[in-house]
Structure formats: structure tokens, C-alpha cells
Amino acid sequence: MPVKFVRKTVGLLGGSFNPAHDGHRYISLQALKLLGLDEVWWLVSPLNPLKQAKDMASYERRVESAEKIAHHPQIKISKFELENNTRYTIDTITKLQETYPDISFVWLMGADNLLEFHHWYRWRSIMHSVPIAVFARKNYALRALHGKAARLYHLYRHAPQDAKRLAYLKPPAWIFLPIRKHPASATEIRQKGLFKVGD
């Protein structure tokens, strides 16, 4: 009997990780469990186009914070964007799919990112390139689900019980997962002086 080839599934969590915190780890663990993924890759962005460089710690320091927080065999810290000189999410996804044709990727994001998604460069192309899993985040769930991206692509939204199929669905395909909200926030960590940009 022939052995059926099963593609490796990887969740992509992009961000500045300025700094990485337990909220990133929590979403990654939820993604591994709920989506049935093999791994989650943290794509540490050299510079998020929507954020100010002056508020950003060095790339090395942000990678270091990610490595310290991840602490899990299925969570990998990736310098892919730096190594391939990709600045925008759509370029990163395209290059990843070219580099790893045997991997099924899922883009992971918090509800706060879904709310702002229509501001991302070529965001519709992202929707049509990779399945997307959106995780509930404190104070954002309801607004995000009534935001522009969610409304325009409401016909492509799948139910939470389809989560383990998401990686294999043809995009556009997205899902909202109403997980317990995690309170961690990189902005609050910086505001409290626990991660000083100039250090």
C-alpha cells in the first residue's frame, strides 16, 4: 500500500518582537495545538514598515529576546527576512513558498492586526497567498470582526472546528479562534521600562 505524503505544516508569526513576550509564546502554543501544526516560526522583522525606527531595539537584541522567550522545540526563531532582504509580508510569504515548496504555511496574527490589516502593503495578495489564523486579543475581537478585511472576506471565513484543516485549504481562507486573551503587550513592557530601546 503506497504511503501518502503528508506536507509539513508551519505557522508564521511575524513581528518586531520589541520585545518578545509570553503573549507571543501563548499564541504559538495555541496555534500548535488548535491548528495541529508541526512548527511555528517567529519571523523577526528587521524593521516593521508601520513602526518607527527610533522606538526599535537593535535586531540582535530582539532576536535574543525571542530566543529567550520561545523556549520550545516546535517554536523556531527565524532571520529569514533579514537574510532574504524582504521588508513586506507579501514578499516574505512569496519567498518562503518558493524556498520551501513542500511546506504548507499558515499566517498567524492577533485580532489587533486583523483590524489594521487593510493598511498592510498588498494585503489582498496576502489573503490570496496563504491561509490565515486570527487569535482573539484583549479589547480587539469584536472590532476586528467588523473591520474592513473581515467584512470583505467574510465568505472565506471558516468555523473554529475547521482549524486542523486550515493549513491545507486553498486561500483565501481564514479563521478566527476565540482563545482566552493573554494580557502581555510589548508596548506596555517598554512603557514600564522593562525593555529599554537604547540598552
Domain assignment of residue 145, yes or no: yes
Q: Which residue has the higher pLDDT, 182 or 174?
A: 174
Mean pLDDT of the 134-139 span: 85
The amino acid present at 87, given as its one-letter code, is R
**Residue given cell 486553498 in the structure block:** 170
Q: Is residue 111 part of a domain?
A: yes
| pLDDT averaged over every residue in the chain | 88
Cα separation, 18 vs 50, in Å, equals 13
Q: Which domain holds residue 127?
A: 8-191
Question: Does the residue 196 lie in any domain?
Answer: no
In a domain, 38, yes or no: yes
CA angle 116, 45, 101 (to 5 degrees): 95
Other Cβ atoms within 10 Å of 140 Cβ, number: 20
**Looking at the domain assignment, is residue 2 inside a domain?**
no
Say what the alpha-carbon torsion angle 50, 41, 33, 189 is, to the nearest 10 degrees.
-50
CB 176, CB 160: distance < 8 Å: yes
- Per the structure, how many domains does the chain have? 1
Residue 68 lies in a domain: yes
Residue 182 lies in a domain: yes
Phi-psi region of 82 (alpha: psi -120 to 50; beta: other; left: phi over 0): alpha
Q: Please, what's the b/e burial string for 122-136 (b: 16 or more CB within 10 A of its CB; e: otherwise)?
A: ebebbbebbbbbbbb
Q: What is the mean pLDDT of residues 59-77?
A: 94
pLDDT for 156 beyond 60: yes
Residue 154 confidence (pLDDT)? 97
- pLDDT of 184: 53
| 9: CB partners within 8 A, 6+ apart | 35, 36, 37, 38, 39, 103, 104, 105, 106, 167, 168
Return the minimum-mean-pLDDT range out of 44-53, 118-127, 152-161: 44-53
> In the Cβ-directed half-sphere of 144, how many Cα atoms lie within 13 Å?
22
Give the C-alpha separation, 175 to 53, whole Å.
32
Q: Is the pLDDT of residue 193 over 60?
A: no
What is the per-residue pLDDT across 80-114, written as a single tens digit (0 to 9) for each?
999 999 989 999 999 999 999 999 999 999 999 99
Segment 44-73 shows an average pLDDT of 85
CATH number at residue 121: 3.40.50.620
